[in-house]
Amino acid sequence: MSLEGSEEISIGTRIGQLAAAHPDRPAVIAVAPDGTRNSITWARLASESNAAARRLAEAGVTERTTVAVALPAGVDHVVATVAAWKLGALVVPLDPYATASERAAIATALGEHLSVGGPGSTVPAGSWRTGGYPTGPIPPRGVPRSASLTGGTTGLPRVVLRRKPWVYPPDGLLSPSERARGMRFEQVQLVVLPMYHAGFSALYQGLALDHQIVLMERFVPRLFPRLVQEFRVSYVRIVPALMRMILDVPDLGDFDLSTIEGVHHGAGPCPEKVKRRWLELIGPERVYEDYASQERVGSVLIRGDEWLAHPGSVGRPTDCEIRILDEDGKELPAGETGEIYLRSTSSRQPEYVGTGPALPERDGFFSIGDLGYLDEEGYLYLVDRKSNVINVGGANVYPAEVEAVLLGLSSVADAAVVPRPHEYLGQVAHALVVPADAARPPTATALAAHCREHLSPTKVPMSYEVVASVARKSSGKIRRRDLA
């Protein structure tokens, strides 16, 4: 696959255009938790990514290579990603803080790949700055693409390909869907989400739209209003857990947030009191919520003023049709809860790097396993987000994965992990543990230490409870609803 002879431009070419237009303007300003900054201009981003591309090519990267970028949020992440795309590679952003067992599972899912950053990195971060690599332009090669990690209720990672490659028709840089969510050309975008989460697509699409990117290397609530005011931020992609934390900043009302044109949130339900406070803070016409998935079978959108008329809804379809079906595939009337199925003109089964499961499909409509209902006006309301998966501040935690870690302890005979409500994060994981010796049950401290050794911080249960037994079906499956 190649762009040769095509009018479409790659994101690498686009960055070169913007470097020529305003070479000395900052493209990315990375902000550390203590407030210190590290910035890169458009000219330097273009030249340094050229050098990095040559370093990657020296390591064997071609348009057929999968490049795993396991760098913390920052300038090096941007340089490495753009460099890989200039070679036409497939980029997969990874959690730089994943544990050894998590990295091993991810490596299996990725198959053959080259890594930038992280333990055993093929190309260490910043190595392109010390080898005397030329910084001149590189002719476009291949078609730059990306993929993201996700998992089912088993917690086993799978890698879903992004439907759209990172190329653009000359007049199609800004899509109607992005415009409907508050994005514009030449905005100042504050990136608060991790690079292995929605922060990735928000940042790189922002670069294509000539955004100045203000990138928080790690989310610190008190910095949010200060950065919005200082840089006159106009666009933010966020999740409800972070929205709640920002509301608790003591002097939030003292800052000027009036420059914000769009706050776009998703990745989990937003508590009503948090939603209403943000509508008051920013203005309802500037707050956008959507319901979508990495499998890209369709999306639903609602703006704040619509939400006030339909509180609790995630909106109406923007590019798809919705059906609510019962277990037999019968379409349900308004107000009745069933499984959500979506169909758009581009709907199809997801593509994976390696293997992955097919989505449930009925008459061209696809389900990602969520339950909900429609009202009489066609607004969608979610009832449950993938019943077994625990949504911790917008990040999915898979009970089976955490249970497997707990069962690795000789002092644990059985275990189940269930969600518990949390004021800030929406949900957290709670572990129910059956001791191997009832007279000497494991302590919460010991359980937590074991989990921290084998799981990334988001997945570690917030609390532990010793129980006599875990309710199971005759098939051996946990009766999770009985434990909730």
Domain membership flag for residue 2: no
- For the stretch 106-134, pLDDT in tens is 998 898 999 999 888 899 999 999 989 99
**Domain-ending residue, one of 384, 403, 431:** 384
Residue 457's domain spans which residues? Answer: 390-483
**Domain-ending residue, one of 384, 416, 433:** 384
Burial environment of residue 406 by CB neighbours within 10 A (0 to 12, 13 to 18, 19 or more)? buried
Shared domain for 353 and 469, answered yes or no, is no
Residues 214 and 191 sit within 8 Å (Cβ to Cβ): yes
Shared domain for 92 and 238, answered yes or no, is yes
Longest CA–CA span in the chain (Å) reads 74
Domain membership flag for residue 1: no
- For the stretch 407-452, pLDDT in tens is 889 899 889 999 999 989 999 999 999 999 999 999 999 999 999 9
**Domain-ending residue, one of 356, 384, 412:** 384
Q: Is the dihedral of CA 195, 201, 203, 204 positive or negative?
A: positive
- Average pLDDT (228-254) is 92
Domain membership flag for residue 42: yes
Shared domain for 47 and 180, answered yes or no, is yes
- For the stretch 140-155, pLDDT in tens is 889 999 999 876 545 5
Shared domain for 245 and 349, answered yes or no, is no
Shared domain for 400 and 313, answered yes or no, is no
Number of structural domains in the chain:
3
Can you tell me the distance from the alpha carbon of 201 to that of 146, in angstroms, rounded to the nearest whole number? 9
- Average pLDDT (173-202) is 92
**Out of 20-24, 306-310, 480-484, least confident range:** 480-484
Shared domain for 280 and 305, answered yes or no, is no
Can you tell me the distance from the alpha carbon of 330 to that of 338, in angstroms, rounded to the nearest whole number? 10
- Residue 321: CATH number of its domain: 2.30.38.10
pLDDT of residue 483: 82
